[in-house]
Amino acid sequence: MLYYLITTTKDLLFPAVLIGMLFAFIPQSSGKKGRLILSIGTFAGIAAAIALALLKNLTKFIDKNGGTQLWNVWIFAASTLALIVFYVFSIKPLRRVTGSAGQIASSVSAAVSVFTILAYALPAVLAYPFNFTLNGASVFSTAFIYRFIGWLLGIILCLLVMLVMYQTSRRTGNGFLLIMLDLALLVNGLQQVLKAIQILNSKRIAFTGHDWFVIVKHATNYSDLFIYAMLVTALIIPVTLLIKSAHVNEPYSNPAEHRKIRAKWRNTRRWSVGVALCAVMVVMNLTVFTAIDNQEPELSPTEQCEDHGEDLYIPLTQVEDGHLHRFAYTTPDNIAVRFIIIKKPNSSSYGVGLDACDICGETGYYERNGQVVCNLCDVVMNINTIGFKGGCNPIVIDYSVANGYIIVPKSTLVEHQDEFK
């Protein structure tokens, strides 16, 4: 759940902040016509994102035409061009000279920016549900529900960010908002330029020298700095409003006007606090939740079993408690081959298999709240299917049950020693 909450928030934070600010700025500078143009760009971006997500996950069209990465390079190029046009027509003297034509150009460039932002970020988010059922997870499984909840919470958080950014941005002066918007667009533009360089470098198309490799490496390792830069930029607006609200000196002619002014600034403070709370949630995603998600559970130690020459004997009394038990055999090649045993619920049978699977390798399994969980992909196993092939289930091994023992031939463990190299 936390993984999809974190990644969805990271993917949609930039669009949320920029769209909120643009929908506050464009109507102030270009009127209803500008809002209409920006709305068209937004809906077109959403439609393009849906189409790209479906093409990528249901067809091979994207792969046959250069892959997702090269498509993103074209998106970045269009975004950079739109950014330049927006900056040019943000210059006040030029806006005065060009008049309505300049307003339309500014609105169109803003609409293209929104389109490219959504076309880049949204397809990956829309594609996440296609991955919820990987490794054999059912749409009715706990794993699927948890992942869906994390994904949905990430979307809701970013929608809230967009709303509070719009509400606070529209309460600022147009000149100050333009400065903040230019700064936010610059942060987004720098991030996209570096990602484009990274893609072209990985494809050996351009920027292949050592210096470019160093730049790409640092841009990848410190990518979260762009998110923090965007958060700082977004927070400047509500902080400015909060400071301004503490020194309100608007004239009024009667108590009704005074109450109206006080109500206006009270609402402004509430929206500003809303931005701060959303920023706290995003920072928690990047720090606390990420640390929790990256914690690797400690595998339980291996237990002793009886060595009877060609076979290993595990007493049923040792494994009949319904918990996960881990054993290991060191092969003649000095490779420790682990296997697990668990008694199946409401049954007299046992689930036996390697502490590894064909999909995730030898990362192993652990017990969490009475469930067996894959250590790598966090998929919850159906205990009743352990011992059968499929999905992320443990690799099946030969064994038998006789005279109160589970008997595992050493030869079957040697056959699978390559899984643990």
At residue 158 the predicted structure's pLDDT band, cuts being 50, 70 and 90, is very high
Residues 399 and 278 in one domain: no
Residues 231 and 109 in one domain: yes
Residues 6+ apart with CB under 8 A from 305: 312, 313, 314, 318, 327
Residues 276 and 387 in one domain: no
Mean pLDDT across 287-301: 79
- In this structure, is residue 300 part of a structural domain? no
**Who wins on pLDDT, 117 or 362?**
117
Residues 286 and 341 in one domain: no
- Whether the per-residue pLDDT at 277 is higher than 90: the answer is yes
- In this structure, is residue 312 part of a structural domain? yes
- In this structure, is residue 299 part of a structural domain? no
Residues 131 and 257 in one domain: yes
Q: How many domains does the chain contain in total?
A: 2
3-state secondary structure the chain: CHHHHHHHHHHHHHHHHHHHHHHHHHHHHHHHHHHHHHHHHHHHHHHHHHHHHHHHHHCCHHHHCCHHHHHHHHHHHHHHHHHHHHHHCCCHHHHHHHCHHHHHHHHHHHHHHHHHHHHHHHHHHHHHHHHCCHHHCCCCCHHHHHHHHHHHHHHHHHHHHHHHHHHHHCCCCHHHHHHHHHHHHHHHHHHHHHHHHHHHHHCCCCCCCHHHHHHHHHHHHCCHHHHHHHHHHHHHHHHHHHHHHCCCCCCCCCHHHHHHHHHHHHHHHHHHHHHHHHHHHHHHHHHHHHHHHHCCCCCCCCCCCEEECCEEEEEHHHHCCCCCEEEEEECCCCCEEEEEEEECCCCCCEEEEECCECCCECCCEEEECCEEEECCCCCECCHHHCCCCCCCCCCCCCCEEECCEEEEEHHHHHHCHHHHC
pLDDT (0 to 100) of residue 56: 78
| Domain end (from 271, 294, 317) | 294
- In this structure, is residue 266 part of a structural domain? yes
Cβ-contact 102, 94 below 8 angstroms:
yes
- Whether the per-residue pLDDT at 136 is higher than 60: the answer is no
- In this structure, is residue 186 part of a structural domain? yes
Q: Left if phi > 0, otherwise alpha if psi is -120 to 50, otherwise beta: which for 207? A: left
- In this structure, is residue 265 part of a structural domain? yes
| Domain end (from 263, 294, 325) | 294
pTM of the complete model: 0.72
pLDDT (0 to 100) of residue 86: 85
pLDDT (0 to 100) of residue 78: 85
pLDDT (0 to 100) of residue 368: 80
Whole-number Å distance between alpha carbons of 122 and 21: 18
Mean pLDDT across 62-71: 59
Residues 282 and 153 in one domain: yes
- In this structure, is residue 301 part of a structural domain? no
Q: Encode pLDDT of 184-216 as tens digits.
A: 988 988 888 888 887 777 767 777 777 777 877
pLDDT (0 to 100) of residue 61: 65
| Domain end (from 294, 323, 348) | 294
Characterize 291-314 residue by residue with b for buried, 16 or more Cβ atoms within 10 angstroms of its Cβ, and e for exposed: eebeeeeebeebeebeeeeebbeb
Domain of 322? 306-420
Write the CATH number for 346. 2.102.10.10
Residues 74 and 111 in one domain: yes
Whole-number Å distance between alpha carbons of 193 and 315: 62
Among candidates 312, 293, 294, 296, which has minimal Cα distance to 304? 312
- Whether the per-residue pLDDT at 67 is higher than 60: the answer is no
- In this structure, is residue 143 part of a structural domain? yes
Cα-Cα-Cα-Cα dihedral sign, residues 327, 405, 373, 415: positive
Residues 317 and 386 in one domain: yes
Tokens found for residue 213 = 């490799």
pLDDT (0 to 100) of residue 217: 78
Residues 379 and 346 in one domain: yes
Residues 144 and 11 in one domain: yes
Residues 262 and 329 in one domain: no
Distance from the Cα of residue 66 to its chain's centroid: 24
Residues 136 and 253 in one domain: yes
Q: Encode pLDDT of 177-189 as tens digits.
A: 989 998 998 898 8
